[in-house]
Amino acid sequence: MLNPLISALQLLSPIPEGDQELIASYFGLQAYKEGTILYPGGRICREMYFVIDGVLRITVTNDKGIDVTHFFVKENQFCTILNSFNNQVPAQESIQAACDTEVLAITRSRLLELYKQLPYVRDLIDQITQQRLLDKVQLRNAYLGEDSASRYRLFMVQQPDIAQRVSLKDIASYLGMTPQSLSRIRKNTK
């Protein structure tokens, strides 16, 4: 079976077999149970993850002490707190497993070593992360100005695979409503 990370990179450019093995050797497979915090926030994010199976969620704690979901990250996507990872500054966001998840992980120092060995890999990863940022903005903008029921219906159309795998509490948080409101909306849309 071809490494999913290599498959994702090769969507942008062919990668010689020897380079594929080198790239794969820099990433380590890690498994996390639902609810596990991969990065707690409040410090510098030193790891980047490539999701093999499952869903991660990026959260921030609001002024009431409640974790608010900003984004979900699923298979074949990179996940990190990009500003913190790239600029070595603390971040308020956290990364948590929204369901049982397997990732390929790499530290920033190892990624920089990989870039020295294979400089073109930086361009590939940058292209993927930039496109994903644009996708996230477009996705979140789609919810602007919509009422709760419309946001839920849009979520079910745009991210049905995530809706089936993460908790209702996390979906409610992502959509900016209480779990009770989401339950009412779900009941009325069936």
Q: What is the pTM of this model?
A: 0.92
Most distant pair of Cα atoms in the chain: their distance: 56
What residue has token string 């979901």?
69
Which CATH number goes with the domain that contains 64? 2.60.120.10
- Structural domain including 55 reads 4-124
pLDDT single digits (tens) 9-65: 999 999 999 999 999 999 999 999 999 999 999 999 999 999 999 999 999 998 888
Please check whether residue 85 lies inside any domain of the structure. Answer: yes
Q: How many domains does the chain have?
A: 1
Please check whether residue 9 lies inside any domain of the structure. Answer: yes
Please check whether residue 118 lies inside any domain of the structure. Answer: yes
Please check whether residue 132 lies inside any domain of the structure. Answer: no
Three-state SS at 25: helix
pLDDT single digits (tens) 93-130: 999 999 999 999 999 999 999 999 999 999 999 999 99
189 burial (CB, 10 Å; 0-12 / 13-18 / 19+) is exposed
For residues 164-187, give the mean pLDDT: 92
